[in-house]
């Protein structure tokens, strides 16, 4: 009929012009012109012109022209909205939500949580206890150890380290670096660096500069105080891996980073020599 229901301890296949529901301990395949729901402890495949929901303890594949929801080790691709949780890949022309070790790419809005990569022509949101990369033509929000780059607005908040660069407005909290052509706001319990061509607001242990020459600015600030001993304070707002990644991405643009890293090594050697001269080895 128009509303088939399939449930089996083994393998199940459902296809109907209306709504379909599949649940099986083994493998399940659902395809319907209307709405499809699949749940299986094993593997599930859902494809429907309307809405699709997939949940499986194993692997799931969802593809629908309408809305798709996937949980498990999943792949979601839909012309409309997609939701993925688990070790997931989400790609949709509309909205995408990913959680787990995820990759999200959508022409519309993208939400990622976990160790994630988000790229969308519209809005992107990334939140993860691990590492996140967000790049979107519209708005970007990142939390975790994050990198945000967007042509529009960027918001970064993380207990770890964050980099925000946007042509519009940027907001950073945590150990952060903000550089934007528009307005920048930085607040962090740790260390913050703000540089923006427009207005800048900083709170915390912060550095603010009102002019920025590059859309992405990586600064390593050194403060050397000489009294009886030498105190060298080096605040790193980015991880070494991130710096190496940036240098490789655009060697000419980030040549200054190499100079700063060289300066850091020279300062370390200078401190070691000073300590040996004054206090012995």
The tally of domains found in the chain comes to 2
Q: Is residue 260 part of a domain?
A: yes
Q: Is residue 194 part of a domain?
A: no
Q: Is residue 83 part of a domain?
A: yes
Q: Is 143 helix (H, G, I), strand (E, B) or coil?
A: strand
Query: Could you tell me the residue range of the domain that residue 65 belongs to?
Result: 1-89
User: Which pLDDT score, from 0 to 100, does residue 17 have?
Assistant: 47
Contact 236, 218 (CB under 8 A): no
Digitized pLDDT (tens) for each residue of the chain, 281 residues in all: 344 555 544 455 655 444 556 554 445 565 544 455 655 444 556 554 445 555 544 455 555 444 555 555 555 554 445 555 555 555 544 455 555 555 555 444 555 554 555 554 445 555 544 445 555 444 555 554 555 554 445 555 544 455 555 444 555 554 555 554 445 555 544 445 555 444 455 544 445 443 332 233 344 444 444 434 344 444 444 455 555 665 666 666 656 656 666 767 777 787 788 888 888 75
User: Which pLDDT score, from 0 to 100, does residue 51 have?
Assistant: 52
Q: pTM for the full model?
A: 0.29
Question: What is the rounded distance in angstroms from the CA atom of residue 256 to the CA atom of residue 72?
Answer: 44
Q: Is residue 37 part of a domain?
A: yes
Contact 71, 85 (CB under 8 A): yes
| Partners of residue 74 on adjacent β-strands | 60, 88
Query: What are the tokens at 234?
Result: 């080096």
Q: Is residue 111 part of a domain?
A: no
Q: Is residue 50 part of a domain?
A: yes
Query: Where among 37, 70, 89 does a domain terminate?
Result: 89
Instruction: Find the DSSP H helices in the chain.
Output: 240-249, 255-279
Contact 17, 35 (CB under 8 A): no
Question: What is the rounded distance in angstroms from the CA atom of residue 198 to the CA atom of residue 32?
Answer: 53
Query: Where among 62, 89, 116 does a domain terminate?
Result: 89
User: Which pLDDT score, from 0 to 100, does residue 137 have?
Assistant: 44
Give the single-character DSSP code of 252: T
Contact 124, 109 (CB under 8 A): yes
Query: Where among 89, 118, 146 does a domain terminate?
Result: 89
Q: Is residue 125 part of a domain?
A: no
For the chain, helix, strand, coil in percent to 5 are 10, 60, 25
Q: Is residue 190 part of a domain?
A: no
Strands 221-226 and 230-235: antiparallel
């Amino acid at each position: 009929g128009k509303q088939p229901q399939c449930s089996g301890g083994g393998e199940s296949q459902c296809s109907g012009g209306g709504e379909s529901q599949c649940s099986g301990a083994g493998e399940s395949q659902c395809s319907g012109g209307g709405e499809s729901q699949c749940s299986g402890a094993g593997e599930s495949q859902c494809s429907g012109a309307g809405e699709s929901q997939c949940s499986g303890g194993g692997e799931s594949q969802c593809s629908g022209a309408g809305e798709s929801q996937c949980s498990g080790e999943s792949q979601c691709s839909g012309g409309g909205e997609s939701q993925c949780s688990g070790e997931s890949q989400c790609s949709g022309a509309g909205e995408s939500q990913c959680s787990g070790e995820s990759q999200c790419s959508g022409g519309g809005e993208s939400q990622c949580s976990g160790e994630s990569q988000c790229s969308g022509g519209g809005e992107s949101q990334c939140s993860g206890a691990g590492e996140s990369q967000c790049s979107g033509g519209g708005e970007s929000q990142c939390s975790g150890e994050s990198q945000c780059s967007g042509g529009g607005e960027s918001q970064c908040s993380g207990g770890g380290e964050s980099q925000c660069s946007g042509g519009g407005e940027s907001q950073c909290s945590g150990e952060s670096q903000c550089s934007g052509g528009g307005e920048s706001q930085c607040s962090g319990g740790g260390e913050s660096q703000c540089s923006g061509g427009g207005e800048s607001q900083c709170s915390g242990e912060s550095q603010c500069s009102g002019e920025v020459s590059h859309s992405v600015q990586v600064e390593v600030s050194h403060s050397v105080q000489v009294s009886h001993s030498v105190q060298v304070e080096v605040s790193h707002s980015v991880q070494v891996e991130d710096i190496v990644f940036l240098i490789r991405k655009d060697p000419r643009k980030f040549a200054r980073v190499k100079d700063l890293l060289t300066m850091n090594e020279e300062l370390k050697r200078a401190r070691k020599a000073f300590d040996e001269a004054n206090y012995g080895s």
